[in-house]
Chain A
Amino acid sequence: MSVDFLHPGEGTAIDTDVPALELRGIDKRFPGVVALDNVDFTLEAGKIHALMGENGAGKSTLIKIMAGVYGKDAGTIRMRGREVDIKSPRDSLKEGIKVVFQEIALISEFTVAENIFLEGYPTGKGGSIDWKKIRADSAALFNRIGFNVDPAARTGSLPVSQQQMVEIARALAHEARVVVMDEPTSSLTPNEVSLLFTVIRRLAALGIAVVYVSHKLDEVFEIADTVTVLRDGRHISTRPIGEHSNDTLIQDMIGRRIDNLFPRKRGAPGSKVALSVENLSTAKKLNDVSFEARAGEVLGFFGLMGAGRTELAKAIVGYDPITSGTITVDGSRLLPHDTRTGVRLGIGLLTEDRKSEGLMGELPVYQNASLASLGAFARLGFVDKAREHRAVQDYVDRFRIKTPSLFQQVKNLSGGNQQKVLIARWLMRGLKVIVVDEPTRGIDVGAKTEIFALIDRLAGEGLAVVMMTSEMPELLGLADRVAVMCEGRLTAIMSRDEATQEKILNAAIG
């Protein structure tokens, strides 16, 4: 590998008339599913192009075709006007396409520099690897993107944000002309997001065509020059970002208009205290947190990443141990670190991490829904399946859960429908307090309103809803009162009328 990557584009003047990458008429079928249907996608050098769409719209399939992970069934791919044949990830990289997947594919035991030059270590005399050069070249690459990562650091010890930078440096090392970022901000803090954006803009300034895959509207408006929307495997629109508004983008993505993202049907909250938390502390995070939640109210907790919302959620339902404090549900004290008494008293958690803490992916929908209430359908330890299925079916109908049958493995449902199954799990059990942690994480725009409506309905039915969220609109749209956390402490509680974005952010910074 030569050092040319330090001076890209020299001698090969960027021709802006010829697209950096042009995909035409791409088809991709999987048995039973048309994942992509005659999709066109054109990238210009030096531009940031957002690729949007709901889950299942075909975004991942399209970028996996670009990355050589999948082969296409039909269509052509041209790099700077030249037709190319991409059969494997290796081909893709050779043609100058680098995809940075959400789940980063670096070898965590190797150093940063080793990872960057994984595909071809520069060698010195006698074929031995020139470590000095690798380090120096790595440092030079980071210099170019304006972000410094220690080339000698063990990759696995770095935060995700820096691992992304390593991937981007790899792209430059391979003289990539196209860099695809797949949902890059899903696990970054706001600070890291703005750093990432700076680097992405820098890539564009270097003449690289950047694809930014996301379903976060605000990010796309901030960073993209052009937006392409896919829906159900078809190309819907490609427009300069300036021609879009929030509404038009959502409309393109879901194919219909959403009039009111936060429908409110419930009345005013009652006065009965359903949950009372006093002086709660945990070993690692929480510090003397006290609050009350009333029946029929949505109490929203806001905080930046690391503020302690998830820790609070897990402590008050009895999942995690606490060091001091009391938790009282509907007048009875909860034994700490004991979900069994928690559930019996009527407090449950709708987890932020559906896959690892909520769903039993391999098991059918009905077993997922009835998990917490199975005892109610049993006689002498034997499950009355007919009664169980009727009860689950009832929720499937009421919540409009889209599933081919009760026997479908829950992992095959969309995120929104999985979330509804988990909400049903708690309602079937019957709760007084439900703690919902990031209730719309990983859920499509269209399904979000349905989840919001469900939360509204829960409160309307008299539950106290404690909602942890990092999404400001969600907080202001749903909560009756707003609590703000910062570094494990509660820094403010205010009513919905008092709450402004500014006040909340101030309290969140501490």
Chain B
Amino acid sequence: MEMSELTHASAPRRSIGGQLLGSSQLVLGLILAALCIAISIAAPQFYSEANIIAILRQCALVLIVASGMTMLIITAEVDLSVGASLAFVGCIGMAVLNSTHSLALGMLAALAFAGGVGLFNGLVVTRLRVNSLIATIGTMMMLQGGVYLFTREAVQNHNRLVSFTDLGAGYVGAVPVPVILAALIFVVAYVTLRFTTLGRYLYAVGANEKAVRLSGLRSERLKLFAFVVTGLCVGVAGMILSSLMNAGQPTAGRGFELTVIAAVILGGTSLLGGRGSLFGTLLGVLVLKVIDNGIIILGWNQDLQMVVPGVVIILATYLDIIRNRANVR
């Protein structure tokens, strides 16, 4: 209350340029630059072509799912089941691939399954009005158990489809295929959020669902859409992962949801909805994966791969709070 009383007198705050590159992204960009410089001083091989490609490949999986997740979190919902779904999708895709010897059908099965999971989550949240945090923890548990009902062990690759191997390990020129797929999905999501009515409605529904409904829009369908898109992104990522591992692994994807959500939050997207950007998410993914990579090439204890990002998230969020405070006053 007090804030709004005071600030209407203060100066304009968000220009077009400011919106495009809110200073939270600036902070994140600086953190990223600092990380890169620090690591490359300590370990010059950081800047080798091979290592950069490796980082990008690592980023690809996270970025694909984070693109959907950014949309979803902008609508003020969240999906914690993406990690469990990722593992399940890999197994199903691989099984269908083995029995049909068709990459298209395997891919289709993976997308259908993952999209179905998204639809299920979306319906539980919008129809049954279960809080998405709880609903998707439920789905996560169902999937984590369910995958063992489906297969006790890894589904090995019994076909010899080159196109499937390429999905994870192939290159176009010097660029890995997963990176290209991630870039494509990222661009589509970016354009949708920034330039289309759909994107604007996603922000609107996160900012105030009741206002959106009063304006004659179907808020529930918008949320459902974001859930399904997140699911489809998991479908793509799951197939890439099984191609990389040359098997469908029921144990894969543990903690993946945390990495994805961490990247999105780090990128400045608000869990409360209505605020955020895909560009920030991209930076968030890069920061997390550069930290990962740095820990490995510096030869540090690999358990730090979980510890350091945890610290970074708290720090970055705190910086954001300070920045907001400075702006609001």
Contact = CB atoms under 8 A, between A and B. Distances in A.
Interface of A: 30-33, 35, 55-56, 60-61, 64, 102-103, 317, 319, 339-340, 342-344, 348-349, 351, 356-364, 367, 371-372, 374-375, 378, 381-383, 402, 404-405, 407-409, 411-414, 417, 425, 429
By size class, the interface of chain B is: 35 or more
B2 A64 contact: yes
Given A30-B329, A407-B15, 14 more contacts: A33-B6, A60-B1, A340-B217, A344-B216, A356-B208, A356-B210, A357-B211, A358-B211, A362-B270, A362-B275, A363-B203, A374-B197, A381-B197, A405-B15
A60 B2 contact: yes
For the complex of A and B, list the 5 residue pairs with the smallest distance between their C-beta atoms, beginning with the closest. Answer: A343-B216, A360-B207, A404-B12, A372-B215, A357-B210
A88 to B, nearest CB: 17
Contact of B4 (A339, A362, A411): A411
Given A33-B9, A409-B14, A367 B275 contact: no
Contacts of B195: 382-383
Contacts of B208: 356-361
A381 B2 contact: no
5 contacts: A33-B10, A360-B204, A382-B195, A408-B13, A412-B13
A160 B199 CA distance: 40
Given A357-B208, A363-B274, A383 B8 contact: no
B228 to A, nearest CB: 17
B214 A381 contact: no
Given A64-B2, A409-B14, A412-B8, A360 B210 contact: no
A363 B270 CA distance: 13
Given A359-B208, A425-B215, A56 B1 contact: no
Nearest to B326: A31
Contact of B196 (A60, A382, A413): A382
A383 B214 contact: no
B16 A33 contact: no
Interface of B: 1-2, 4-16, 18-19, 195-198, 200-201, 203-204, 207-208, 210-218, 270, 274-275, 326, 329
Contacts of B210: 356-357
A348 B14 contact: no
B12 A408 contact: yes
A370 B306 CA distance: 44
Given A408-B14, A413-B8, A367 B215 contact: no
Contacts of B8: 56, 402, 412-414, 417
A72 B14 CA distance: 30
Contact of B211 (A35, A64, A359, A429): A359
A35 B217 contact: no
Contact of B2 (A31, A61, A411): A61
A362 B204 CA distance: 10
Contacts of A30: 6, 329
A32 B12 CA distance: 11
B207 A361 contact: yes
Contacts of A343: 215-216
Q: Which of A56, A371, A411 has the most CB atoms of chain B within a 10 A radius of its CB? A: A371
Contacts of B212: 371
Contacts of A374: 197, 200-201
Nearest to A376: B197
A337 to B, nearest CB: 11
Contacts of A412: 4, 7-8, 10, 13
Given A56-B8, A404-B12, A383 B200 contact: yes
A408 B7 CA distance: 11
Contacts of B270: 362
A31 B326 CA distance: 8
A55 B4 CA distance: 9
Nearest to A405: B12
A133 B2 CA distance: 38
Contacts of A409: 13-14
A367 B212 CA distance: 12
B9 A56 contact: yes
A407 B4 CA distance: 16
A27 to B, nearest CB: 15
A21 to B, nearest CB: 21
A364 B201 CA distance: 14
B66 to A, nearest CB: 21
Contacts of B16: 407
A29 B156 CA distance: 68
A417 B8 CA distance: 10
Contacts of B7: 33, 412
A358 B214 contact: yes
Contacts of B10: 31-33, 412
A340 B212 CA distance: 10
A339 B214 contact: yes
B214 A349 contact: yes
Contacts of B13: 404, 407-409, 412
A367 B329 contact: no
Given A32-B10, A32-B11, A339 B204 contact: no
A105 B237 CA distance: 48
Nearest to A340: B216
Contacts of B216: 339-340, 342-344, 348, 372, 429
A123 to B, nearest CB: 37
Nearest to A60: B2
B14 A407 contact: yes
Contacts of A317: 214
B329 A32 contact: yes
